[in-house]
Structure 1
Amino acid sequence: MTLLIGDTAPDFEAETTEGRIRFHDWAGQDWVVFFSHPADFTPVCTTELGYTARLKDELSARGAKALVISIDTVEAHERWSADIERTQGAAVNFPMIADPHRKIASLYNMIHPASDPKLTVRAVYVVDPAKKIRASIVYPPNVGRNFNEIIRLIDALQLTDGHKVATPVNWQAGSDVILQPSLQDPAEIKRSFPDGYREETPYLRFVRISEPS
């Protein structure tokens, strides 16, 4: 199954380290960073889950939370969590899904047989409160992800949801954004951006927005 941006994230039920959940109910009105890791007791995943645990306040400030899945059991997750806390200085503070039969991983296209038929790749889905997939990222099993980029991505999605803008290359929160080309009505521009904008070409117009909406 191929999931694309704009698709509804499939619902599912699963056993996790925080009990059984139904995904859509658990997500509620939050944004969700739903990501897979190849296997428990592996080095790259240990660093990723520890770092994600340290991002809990950053995610919460954006109305977001993390959910992780692998093909291992809840019991294995719980044993591994102790290693993560000891080596990374942060206890895992989000549910870890057990998917030993690969049903959810297959539903979300996290198994790539040409890469490794036994393991999930490092997939990330950003799901909004309407349960729509807003972004997806896929890394090979042997390359760690940049979770700061995922925070930046959520900032950009939330900002562009609230304003008729797009984010330029390497955008960071608080820096200039680009007016959408479809925004042409001078009265609407003035109303939306009373401090004006900087035009480099008729289609490349920059404006500063200090806070995401």
Structure 2
Amino acid sequence: MEVTTQTVGLPQLNKPAPAFDAITTHGRKTLEDYKGKWLILFSHPADFTPVCTTEFIGFQERKDQFDAMNCELLGLSIDSHHSHNAWTLNIKEKFGVEIQFPIIADLDMKVAMSYGMIHEAAADTSAVRATFIIDPEGILRAMVYYPMSNGRQIDEFVRLLKAMQTSDSNACATPENWREGEKVIVPPPATIDEARARLESNEYECTDFYFCKKSL
């Protein structure tokens, strides 16, 4: 069977994120620089393109929310840092938004290839719209891919990060479209006795023994 670049070395959830050492608009950055913080690493097809511009504005407008969750932002495309610098200055001039997070200049595609951002069927010389959430220990916790033609919904990454942090802190799961302050899902019971006890408990809101919620 022929092995393509899409199937070699792709990152996997709950395993260490691929290391990188790259030039950015804020100087050289490595994955190790972000240890102790959450990191959202996201790629875009090219500078000076309209959809990518809206996404960068969207990430910047929510930067304070990410900062409050101990999360850094890091962009990437197969463009030079000169192009990145010119584009961010253009966004400031034309849209009044200053991009305050770094952007990797991945001309040799090393970072893009290690993270599986190059999809030949979409574009063989551009990174697709990929988003990776890496935890403070350098573990890859989530990854989402979007088509070239459609921009990301940045609020979903705010919501997802808050949900993952809540799950980590409280040993719970979160339901569809969970928002902070809503009830969480508790893990299914391990034994029949635990299942009976849960149904009789006032601590949980149970639809059935395997489906129980609680307030935090």
**When the two structures are superposed, what TM-score results if normalisation uses the length of structure 1?**
0.90
Deviations 1:87-106 (A, max 9, x none): 44321111110011111111
Are 2:187 and 1:180 equivalent residues in the alignment? yes
1:134 aligned partner, one-letter code = R
CA distance in 2, matches of 1:115, 1:83: 27
Query: Is the 8 Å Cα contact of residues 73 and 99 (structure 1) preserved in structure 2?
Result: yes
Are 2:99 and 1:92 equivalent residues in the alignment? yes
1:99 aligned partner, one-letter code = D
Match of 1:6 among 14, 21, 40: 14
Query: Is the 8 Å Cα contact of residues 47 and 88 (structure 1) preserved in structure 2?
Result: no
Q: Give the match's secondary structure for 1:165.
A: coil
**Structure 1 unpaired stretches of 5+:** none
Matches within 5 A, 1:127-146: 127-146=134-153
CA distance in 2, matches of 1:183, 1:65: 37
1:153 aligned partner, one-letter code = L
CA distance in 2, matches of 1:66, 1:201: 40
1:3 aligned partner, one-letter code = P
1:10 aligned partner, one-letter code = P
Are 2:34 and 1:32 equivalent residues in the alignment? no
Identity %, equivalent residues: 37
Q: Which residue of 2 aligns with 1:50?
A: 57
Q: Which residue of 2 aligns with 1:151?
A: 158
Q: Which residue of 1 aligns with 2:4?
A: none
Query: Is the 8 Å Cα contact of residues 22 and 28 (structure 2) preserved in structure 1?
Result: yes
**Structure 2 unpaired stretches of 5+:** 1-8
CA distance in 2, matches of 1:81, 1:10: 26
Query: What number of residue pairs does the alignment pair up?
Result: 203
Question: Relative to structure 1, is the Cα distance of residues 127 and 182 closer, same or farther in structure 2, using a 3 angstrom cutoff?
Answer: farther
Are 2:198 and 1:196 equivalent residues in the alignment? no
Q: Which residue of 2 aligns with 1:16?
A: 24
CA distance in 2, matches of 1:70, 1:116: 13
List 4+ stretches of structure 1 deviating above 6 A.
183-186
Are 2:127 and 1:120 equivalent residues in the alignment? yes
